[in-house]
């Protein structure tokens, strides 16, 4: 009996030490304060693209403490020229990492980065890093979109699925292609209708597109950009309509309508950048957010998740496993 | 199918014309008195925010609308003081007012609400019997109350402008303020009244978007509609009916381009989204010969004793 007790104690100690080692491997050792500046096109509470990045940095600050991570934010700088002066100012003030959160900032960073070789600049969605101190982060939106598309294809009764798009470029086009392929993979008969507003921040127009989709027969909708909040709100005014979100968990907007969301783990991206800097690498890396590396995940609405039957979940899990293993490649063609 | 398509466009287009119509009719009054107010967008944003906040906290849409009108009046008073009393350049003052409204609404939103949340607000209602008439019922009798108010304001505005003594003074002040002054009309007072009235309607137009249309408030929810409303005043030749046709044309064109995209009609979306703007420009260009002159004194500050 005594031997058994000793064995249990040893097992517990081993388990704890393993857990601690695991935690230590995943955590960074930050000795000097890391100053991070964030430039965003909308606001930190847009419930979409800008907020998810802000919350990612905030999560890193929470993890390591305010004495280790400092955050400064400049909002509403959708205009890349205006953003340029803010980016230069932050770099001049000695910020270690300056994140310009949008594809539109790439050329501005290309101009500014050579003047501040010790500062790391980051932007996304993008892949090109023209200078050794620029990181490009790149959510593979088509991967999560494919899974959300499967949900749409399985749940639609009218066989009409609608997408409320911002503009036909960047993340949105990746998302739309992935989503449509996901729908068709399980329901080839379903029609995927896409309509764009022509911008990112017109909540009223997004709402009107959602309304037009629903009146034209769509019963499952999806969309990207901060304006999708307007579309979700309109969708929630109709009975039996489901919405599938991107960028971040949007269940709180309409708990009876938003079934699931593709969420970007920008906290992981930030930690990755900090860890590169600790290795002396200040940029030049293309950082992908994928289902494989866990930087991209699907978040389900606990109030609605029961609408997915075990068979549907099986299909979803299989598809996710295949995407992670590379058996399914969601091509952008 | 085609009938559904057409009904869908008209029934979607009419409610969307309402905020443009409210803001446009208001702008018409201050332009007829000789002052153009480019701050409509900022006033709409403040109206949208304050109206939303009141509905969220008190629960009464009527109080929300009244609060939006009141904040519109305050912003109009500011515009009037700056442009009429201090004779500041109207265009720049308007842009300043827009930026003030945009910044203030976003900041107050963060301080007092903190994130996107929704309200019940004003919902569309169906008129008894009339709402059930096929086609016509869906198009004309299933809207929210503000849509009817907006369209009712068209004949009322026409009557006030053309058939009342006050309307005559407004037109006189906008056409020849010096002559109006010699007749004993208080030019500055009339301009104050018109700017405040126009701004109250802009506040109401903003509240329409947050309380009756989307039931949320978000930063920059107006997305340029205030500027469109100002442009539509020029389109409508400073006449209530003209402005109404302009807002309808613009909104129906928007509803058309959305339907073209949604129904998958093979048409480049980049072209589709600019159809409403193209259409307005084309109509403006084609109607050039028939245009009436705008208020002669538009944009000019009134200085007693000067020749201008």
> What CA–CA distance (Å, rounded) separates B52 from A262?
29
Answer whether A79 touches B (CB < 8 Å): no
| Residue span of the structural domain in which A256 resides | 141-263+297-325
Predicted confidence band at A4 (pLDDT cuts at 50, 70, 90)? low
Res A24: pLDDT: 46
> What CA–CA distance (Å, rounded) separates B40 from B47?
10
Q: What is the DSSP string of A160-208?
A: EEEEEES-SSHHHHHHHHHHHHHHHHH-TT-EEEEEE-SSS--HHHHHH
CATH number at residue A47: 3.40.50.2300
Number of independent structural domains in chain A: 2
Give which of A51, A216, A256 to mutate to test B binding, by max B Cβ within 10 Å: A216
A130: closest CA of chain B, how far (Å): 30
Tell me if A233 and B214 make a contact (CB, 8 A cut-off): yes
* Contact (CB, 8 A) for A253 and B118: yes
Which among A190, A198, A194 has a CA at the least distance from the CA of A176?
A: A194
In a domain, A125, yes or no: yes
Tell me which of A133 and A31 has the higher pLDDT: A133
Q: What is the average pLDDT across A97-123?
A: 96
| Residue span of the structural domain in which B101 resides | 2-113+144-286
Q: Are residues A245 and A184 in the same domain?
A: yes
Helix, coil or strand: residue A56: helix
CATH number at residue B181: 1.10.3470
Q: Are residues A303 and A276 in the same domain?
A: no
Q: Are residues A212 and A65 in the same domain?
A: no
Predicted confidence band at A13 (pLDDT cuts at 50, 70, 90)? low
Tell me if B116 and A47 make a contact (CB, 8 A cut-off): yes
In a domain, A273, yes or no: yes
Q: Are residues A254 and A151 in the same domain?
A: yes
- List B residues 253-282 in contact with A (Cβ-Cβ < 8 A): 254-255, 258-259, 261-264, 269-270, 273-274
Res B264: pLDDT: 80
Q: Can you tell me which residue has the tokens 């899990």?
A: A317
> What CA–CA distance (Å, rounded) separates B183 from B176?
11
Give which of B258, B260, B264 to mutate to test A binding, by max A Cβ within 10 Å: B258
Residue of chain B whose Cα is closest to the Cα of A194: B262
In a domain, B181, yes or no: yes
Tell me if B219 and A216 make a contact (CB, 8 A cut-off): no
Give which of B3, B116, B213, B268 to mutate to test A binding, by max A Cβ within 10 Å: B116
In a domain, B127, yes or no: no
In a domain, B209, yes or no: yes
For residue B228, count CB atoms less than 10 angstroms from its CB and return exposed for 0-12, middle for 13-18, buried for 19 or more: buried
Q: Token pair for residue B42?
A: 């900022």
The per-residue pLDDT for range A20-51, each reduced to its tens digit, is 444 445 688 888 899 999 999 988 988 889 99
For residue B6, count CB atoms less than 10 angstroms from its CB and return exposed for 0-12, middle for 13-18, buried for 19 or more: middle
**Cα B71 → chain centroid:** 15
A267: closest CA of chain B, how far (Å): 21
Q: What is the pLDDT along chain B (308 residues), one digit of tens a residue?
A: 788 889 989 999 999 999 999 999 999 999 999 999 999 999 999 999 999 999 999 999 999 999 999 999 999 999 999 999 999 999 999 999 999 999 999 999 999 998 888 899 999 988 998 888 988 988 899 999 999 999 999 999 999 999 999 999 999 999 999 999 999 999 999 999 999 999 999 999 999 999 999 999 999 999 999 999 999 998 898 999 999 999 999 999 999 999 999 988 878 888 888 988 888 888 877 766 655 667 888 888 888 777 55
Q: Are residues A39 and A159 in the same domain?
A: no
Q: Are residues A94 and A132 in the same domain?
A: yes
Minimum-distance CB partner of A196 among B218, B254, B269: B269
- List B residues 28-67 in contact with A (Cβ-Cβ < 8 A): none
In a domain, A42, yes or no: yes
């Amino acid at each position: 009996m005594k031997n058994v007790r000793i064995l249990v104690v040893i097992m517990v100690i081993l388990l704890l030490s393993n857990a601690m080692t695991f935690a230590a491997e995943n955590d960074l050792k930050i000795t000097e304060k890391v100053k991070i500046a964030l430039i965003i096109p909308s606001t930190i509470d847009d419930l979409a693209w800008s907020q998810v990045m802000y919350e990612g940095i905030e999560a890193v600050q929470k993890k390591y403490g305010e004495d280790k991570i400092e955050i400064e934010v400049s909002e509403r700088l959708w205009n890349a020229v205006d953003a340029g002066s803010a980016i230069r100012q932050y770099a001049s003030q000695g910020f270690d990492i300056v994140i310009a959160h949008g594809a539109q900032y790439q050329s501005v960073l290309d101009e500014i980065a050579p003047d501040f070789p010790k500062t790391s600049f980051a932007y996304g969605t993008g892949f090109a890093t023209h200078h050794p101190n620029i990181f490009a982060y790149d959510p593979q939106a088509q991967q999560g979109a494919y899974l959300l598309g499967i949900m749409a294809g399985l749940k639609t009764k009218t066989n009409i699925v609608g997408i409320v798009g911002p503009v036909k470029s960047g993340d949105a086009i990746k998302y739309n292609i992935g989503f449509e392929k996901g729908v068709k993979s399980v329901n080839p008969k379903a029609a995927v209708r896409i309509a764009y507003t022509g911008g990112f921040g017109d909540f009223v127009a997004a709402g009107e597109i959602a309304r037009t989709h629903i009146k034209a027969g769509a019963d499952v909708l999806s969309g990207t950009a901060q304006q999708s909040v307007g579309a979700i709100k309109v969708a929630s005014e109709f009975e039996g309509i489901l919405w599938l979100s991107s960028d971040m968990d949007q269940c709180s907007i309409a708990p009876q309508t938003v079934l699931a969301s593709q969420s970007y783990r920008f906290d992981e991206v930030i930690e990755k950048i900090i860890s590169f800097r600790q290795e002396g690498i200040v940029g030049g890396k293309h950082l992908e957010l994928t289902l494989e590396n866990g930087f991209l995940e699907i978040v389900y609405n606990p109030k609605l998740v029961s609408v997915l039957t075990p068979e549907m979940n099986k299909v979803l899990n299989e598809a996710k496993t295949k995407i992670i293993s590379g058996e399914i490649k969601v091509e952008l063609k | 199918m085609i009938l559904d398509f057409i009904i869908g466009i008209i029934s979607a287009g009419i409610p969307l014309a309402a905020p443009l119509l409210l803001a446009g009719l208001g702008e018409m009054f201050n332009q007829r008195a000789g002052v153009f107010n480019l701050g409509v967008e900022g006033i709409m944003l403040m109206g949208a925010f304050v109206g939303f906040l009141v509905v969220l906290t008190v629960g009464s849409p009527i109080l929300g609308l009244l609060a939006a009108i009141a904040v519109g009046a305050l912003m109009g008073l500011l515009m009037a003081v700056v442009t009429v009393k201090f004779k500041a350049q109207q265009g720049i003052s308007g842009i300043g007012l827009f930026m003030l409204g945009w910044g203030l609404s976003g900041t107050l939103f963060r301080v007092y609400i903190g994130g996107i949340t929704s309200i019940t607000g004003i919902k569309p209602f169906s008129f008894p019997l009339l709402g059930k008439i096929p086609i016509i019922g869906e198009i004309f009798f299933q809207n929210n109350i503000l849509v009817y108010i907006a369209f009712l304001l068209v004949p009322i505005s026409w009557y006030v402008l053309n058939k009342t003594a006050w309307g005559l003074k407004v037109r006189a002040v906008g056409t020849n303020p010096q002559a109006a002054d010699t007749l004993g009309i208080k030019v500055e007072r009339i301009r104050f009244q018109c700017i405040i009235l126009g701004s109250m309607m802009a506040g109401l137009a903003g509240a329409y978007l947050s309380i009756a249309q989307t039931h949320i408030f978000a930063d920059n929810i107006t997305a340029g509609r205030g500027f469109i409303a100002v442009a539509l005043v020029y389109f409508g030749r400073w006449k209530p009916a003209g402005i109404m046709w302009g807002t309808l044309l613009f909104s129906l064109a928007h509803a058309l381009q959305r339907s073209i995209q949604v129904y998958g009609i093979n048409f480049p979306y980049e072209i589709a989204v600019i159809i409403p703007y193209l259409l307005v420009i084309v109509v403006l260009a084609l109607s050039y010969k028939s245009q009436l002159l705008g208020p002669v004194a538009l944009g000019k500050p009134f200085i007693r004793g000067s020749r201008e």
